[in-house]
Chains A and B, each alone.
Chain A
C-alpha cells in the first residue's frame, strides 16, 4: 500500500485565495483525520470522519475552513478565503477504528501551506 497520499505537497498562495488540500486514506481504513501543525500550537486536530461522516469538527478554526469526504477514498480540506495566519503544515491521517479503541494513526507526508 502506498500509505496516506496528500496533495499538493507545497502550496503558496496569496491572501484571499481559495485553497484546497486533498487526501487519499489507506484503503480499508474507516476513519480520517485532518490536523494542522505550527511551531506555536503544535499538532491540532481540525476535524475527523468515521465512515465518511464528520464526527467532530470542533477544531475547525472558523467558517473559512470546510472539509468533505464524498467517499471512502477521498477527502478535501478547503480554506476560503485564506489568510496569512493559516500558514502551517496540514496533515491527513487514517486508521481502522472501531469503538473508540484509539488505534494507531497513519499520517500522510503533509501539505506545507504558505499564505502571503
Chain B
C-alpha cells in the first residue's frame, strides 16, 4: 500500500542545535516533494520544493535532501530558534495527478531556549 511516514514522535531540541526531520514514502514515484510549516490554529505554509532530480535544496537556515533510492527526504533546520517550533509536513506530488499533494502526518518540533 502507499504510505508517507514522518517521525510520529515530537522532536525536542535545544536552541542553536540542528533539527532533522524525516519523511519516508513507499509505493509512490513522486515528481516533487514539498515541505510545509503549520502553526497551531493556522493553515500550512509552504517552505521548500525539491524535484526528483535534485539531491539538495537550501533556503537560509533550511536544507532539504531527496533520495529517490532510499525513498526519503530529510529536512534540516540549522541554528534552530524557539520561533521554529511548529509542525512540519512533507507532501508528495505524483506524476500525472495534476499537481495534487499527498501529505504526511507531520512532525511536531519544539525548540527550547
Size band of the interface chain B makes with A: 20 to 34
For A102, the chain B residues whose CB sits under 8 A away are 31-32, 34, 49, 93, 99, 101
For A44, the chain B residues whose CB sits under 8 A away are 103
Question: A70 on the interface (CB 8 Å rule)?
Answer: no
- Inter-chain CA distance A31–B93, complex, in Å, is 14
A contacts with B, residue count (CB < 8 A): 27
B45's partner among A48, A97, A107, A110 (CB-CB below 8 A) is A107
A101's partner among B41, B42, B89, B99 (CB-CB below 8 A) is B99
Minimum Cβ distance to chain A for residue B106 (Å): 7
The closest CB in chain B to the CB of A3 belongs to: B43
- Inter-chain CA distance A50–B46, complex, in Å, is 20
> With A102-B31, A104-B49 known to touch, is A55 a contact of B98 (CB < 8 Å)?
yes
Contact, CB under 8 Å: A42 / B93: no
B100's partner among A56, A91, A107 (CB-CB below 8 A) is A56
Question: A100 on the interface (CB 8 Å rule)?
Answer: yes
A100's partner among B43, B49, B96 (CB-CB below 8 A) is B96
Contact, CB under 8 Å: A43 / B99: no
For B104, the chain A residues whose CB sits under 8 A away are 42
Contact, CB under 8 Å: A107 / B43: yes
Contact, CB under 8 Å: A43 / B44: yes
Contact, CB under 8 Å: B97 / A100: yes
Q: Mark A36-74, 1 if CB is under 8 A from B, else 0.
A: 000000111100101000011000000000000000000
Contact, CB under 8 Å: A95 / B99: yes
> With A43-B89, A45-B101 known to touch, is A108 a contact of B43 (CB < 8 Å)?
yes
Known contacts A105-B44, A109-B41; can you find 17 more A-B pairs with CB under 8 A? A35-B103, A43-B44, A43-B103, A43-B106, A45-B100, A56-B97, A97-B98, A97-B99, A100-B95, A100-B96, A102-B99, A105-B46, A105-B101, A106-B46, A107-B45, A108-B43, A109-B42
Question: What is the interface of chain B, defined by CB distance below 8 A to chain A?
Answer: 31-32, 34, 41-46, 49, 89, 93, 95-106
